[in-house]
Chains A and B, each alone.
Chain A
Amino acid sequence: MTVRNALKTQSAVGGRNTNGRYARKLVIIASLAAASFLSVVVCVGIGTVRFSFGEALKALFVDDGGMARLLVWNLRFPRILTAGLVGVCLSLSGCILQGVMRNNLASPSTIGVTSGASFVGYLTLVAFPALYYLLPIGSIAGAFITTMLIYALAYQKGVSPVKMILSGLAVSALFGALNDIIKTFFSSELGNASGFLVGGLNGVVWKDFSMVAPYALVGIFICFLLPAKMNVLMLGDETANSLGLKTERFRFFLILISSLLSGAAIAVAGLISFVGLVVPHIARLLVGSDYRFLFPTSVFLGFVLVTVCDTIGRVIMPPGEIPVSIILAFIGAPFFLYLLRTRQKD
């Protein structure tokens, strides 16, 4: 009896109270939000012409018609904002996909969504060369078709990692080949969409930002209505169903939203393969798997990561540029491996 009591006391001590734990998570989210803001101001000041923090802040918020304002507002800021938006979209898309597939290896790039989205994007550009703004719609449709395809191929009461990765690989290879064909034979029609073709954010201006922002913002907004349902879905289909969640319909809806997000990102930045996988992982290590915290954490992490990496790529080897996807791989991959080795709790 004493042993039992001792065990009970010990377990009671082991639990921290909810408020304390929530507070820690909220502090993390707030710090990341602050970091997002700082990253914009700092990155806007970096380049061939440098601005101090104060100058950059002034250029962002005061329209004095000066050189700093022109450079920051017309060139650097739209690009940095687009980079951030791409980061947010890919992170959220990865978060959702990992929930839908119940599988932490899911992300837009690992399951071939990126290449599927590019393919339909290319088709759109070839079919309507003058209607540049249709590109996001094409890539969103492509992302949706690919995700549904992978889901149908690999889903049986949760997606088996092997099946998902293999289907993703096959689908990716197929669309990749088709993409190469299109790029070879229709190079003149594709001239308009440089970022989309090359991958990366070189030369992105306000026009590009406003092309994808509506889709992205709608997707992001909807994400913040979902955490309660996502959490219930994570209990498994049978339990979720018996709690009153229509799991099949909800999954379909989630695939739609994740496609909206990844399609929008791909339309402006092309193939960026690291963010959607890594950011949800890091977010989960920081705040756990509760989607109420996971979504905002992913948003700010994705924003900071892509903004900073794009800026590094922009300035590291002047006068040339290194695409953001390469910088992401160089910084993100080792970091991710380090995390896997040190915190292998999941």
Chain B
Amino acid sequence: MYFGFDNISVQYGKKRVLSDINAEFPRGEIITIIGQNGCGKSSLLKTVPRAVKPSKGRVVFEDKSLDTYNRKAIAQKIAYLPQVHSPPSDIDVRTLVSYGRYPHARFGRGMTRADADIIDEALELTGLTALRYRILSTLSGGERQRAWIAMTITQQPQILILDEPTTYLDVSYQLEVLELIRGLNKKLGITIIMVLHDLNMAARYSDKLYVIKNAACVLKGAPRDVLTRLVLRDVFEIDAEIFEDKTNGCPYFIPIKIKERSI
């Protein structure tokens, strides 16, 4: 297995959040995990940077448990971007992006010319070159998120994991960020694994959708096969109308009403 979850269970106190999750992520694809609030999709992603410790099971990378790698070695291969950030208030874009080189840094040796080139490349790729000396907190939400993504690019990862990268963003910024993520996948071949709230965005930008419901992974497949009336009804508890977005070649839905609950 290239990368995936092997029988992972997560427990917070007595509450079982995830039970026996098995999922494999093929190299080079964009996979989005969807599910209702509190279904444990973020917790699942957090097992990768060990922010959440699974009560059972393991994260697998290149056929070995992630625990057998040291943390810097992981950080050179797998980047993770949390949903909420709390950076120092006066940090500028380029300084933030440069921290992505941390896992590659050797003790007692500063930034090299090569590091600087990688940082500038990441800035170019995320369209931040003109903004590189700006203070992060003075940028728009979309620009800020691009800066964080640029930081993960300088890690030069094979896999990029993003926990709701479009939260709190206006729709134009959502598109901006997701276009960027798709670009990274196409141009650099980075495998993308993310959690998204907006199902239409998920359907539009993902190769595959994984659906989590009742602490288990209940469905995997191409957006066309997952975004169906039946799934929306059973998993997301809405009655919806499905349409075809001809411009972008993907399905989308309009919620009609909340599913009537049998009382």
Measured CB to CB, the residues of A under 8 A from B are 8, 11-12, 14-18, 21, 102, 158, 225, 228, 231-232, 234-239, 241-246, 288-290, 345-346
Chain A: which residue is nearest B100 at the CB level?
A: A243
The 10 closest A-B pairs by CB, nearest first: A15-B133, A244-B75, A244-B72, A242-B80, A242-B49, A244-B103, A289-B88, A12-B130, A238-B82, A15-B134
Q: Contact partner of B130 among A11, A102, A242, A289, CB < 8 A?
A: A11
Closest to B72 in A: A244
23 contacts between A and B (CB under 8 A): A8-B130, A11-B139, A15-B92, A15-B134, A232-B99, A235-B85, A235-B86, A235-B87, A236-B86, A238-B46, A238-B49, A238-B80, A238-B82, A242-B48, A243-B102, A244-B71, A244-B74, A244-B102, A289-B88, A289-B90, A290-B88, A345-B89, A346-B89
Contact B82–A239 (Cβ < 8 Å): yes
The reply to whether B79 and A18 contact each other, CB–CB distance below 8 Å, is no
B71 and A246 contact, CB distance less than 8 A: yes
How long is the Cα–Cα vector from A168 to B78 in the complex, in angstroms?
A: 39
Complex contacts, B81 vs chain A, CB 8 Å: 239, 242
Please give 19 more A-B residue pairs, beta carbons under 8 A apart, in addition to A225-B108, A238-B49. A8-B130, A15-B92, A15-B134, A16-B133, A18-B92, A21-B133, A102-B86, A228-B105, A231-B99, A236-B86, A242-B49, A244-B74, A244-B75, A244-B76, A244-B102, A245-B71, A288-B90, A289-B90, A346-B90
B132 contacts the other chain (Cβ, under 8 Å)? yes
> Interface code B87-99, partner A: CB below 8 Å = 1, 0 otherwise?
1111110111001
A224 smallest CB distance to B (angstroms): 11
Q: Describe A's contact surface by its main secondary structure.
A: loop
CB distance from A249 to the nearest CB of B (A): 10
Q: What's the Cα separation between A242 and B162 when bound, in Å?
A: 12
Does B50 lie at the interface of the complex (its beta carbon under 8 Å from any beta carbon of A)?
yes
Instruction: Report the bound CA distance from A333 to B91 in whole Å.
Output: 28
Contacts A232-B99, A235-B85, A243-B102; A11 near B91 (Cβ below 8 A): no
Closest to A346 in B: B89
CB of B111 to closest CB in A, whole Å: 10
Q: Contact at A11–B131, with CB atoms within 8 Å?
A: yes
Q: Let me know if A241 and B50 touch, CB within 8 A.
A: yes
Instruction: Report the bound CA distance from A234 to B96 in whole Å.
Output: 11
The answer to whether B9 has its CB under 8 Å from any CB of chain A is no
The smallest C-beta distance from A57 to any residue of chain B, in angstroms, reads 36
CB–CB B105/A242 < 8 A: no
- A20 and chain B: residue at smallest CB distance: B133
Among A236, A243, A288, contact of B103 (Cβ-Cβ < 8 Å): A243
Kindly list chain A residues whose C-beta atoms are within 8 Å of the C-beta of B96: 235
Min distance, Cβ A272 to any Cβ of chain B, angstroms: 27
B51 proximal to A (CB < 8 A): yes
Q: How far is the CA of A288 from the CA of B87 in the complex (A)?
A: 13
Q: Is the CB of B82 within 8 A of A289?
A: no
Which chain A residues lie closer than 8 Å to B100 at the CB level?
243
A217 vs B130: C-alpha distance when bound (angstroms) = 43
Q: Which partner residue on chain A sits nearest B127 by CB separation? A: A8
B88 contacts A11, C-beta separation under 8 Å: no
Instruction: Please indicate the chain A residues that have their CB under 8 angstroms from the CB of B82 in the complex.
Output: 236, 238-239, 242
Q: Which residue of A lies closest to B155 (CB)?
A: A243
Q: Is the CB of B134 within 8 A of A14?
A: yes
Q: B55 to chain A: which residues have CB within 8 Å? A: none
**Assembled-state Cα–Cα distance A114/B80 (Å):** 39
Knowing A15-B92, A236-B85, A289-B90, the reply to whether A228 touches B102 (Cβ < 8 A) is yes
List A contacts of B138 (CB < 8 A). Answer: 14
Partner of A290, one of B46, B95, B155: B95
**Cα separation A241 to B82 with both chains bound (whole Å):** 11
Q: What CA separation (Å) do A14 and B143 show in the bound complex?
A: 15
A242 neighbours in B (Cβ, 8 Å)? 48-49, 51, 75, 78-82
User: How distant is the Cα of A288 from the Cα of B137 in the complex, in angstroms?
Assistant: 14
| Complex CA distance for A37 and B214, rounded to whole angstroms | 67
List of B residues within 8 angstroms of A21 by Cβ: 133
A336 and B149 CA atoms in complex are apart in Å by 38
Which B103-140 residues have a C-beta within 8 angstroms of A?
Answer: 103, 105, 108, 130-134, 138-139
In the complex, residue of chain A having the shortest beta-carbon distance to the beta carbon of B90 = A288
CB distance from B48 to the nearest CB of A (A): 8
**A290 → chain B, closest Cβ, in Å?**
7
In contact, B99 and A235 (Cβ under 8 angstroms): yes
A residues within 8 A CB of B131? 11-12, 15
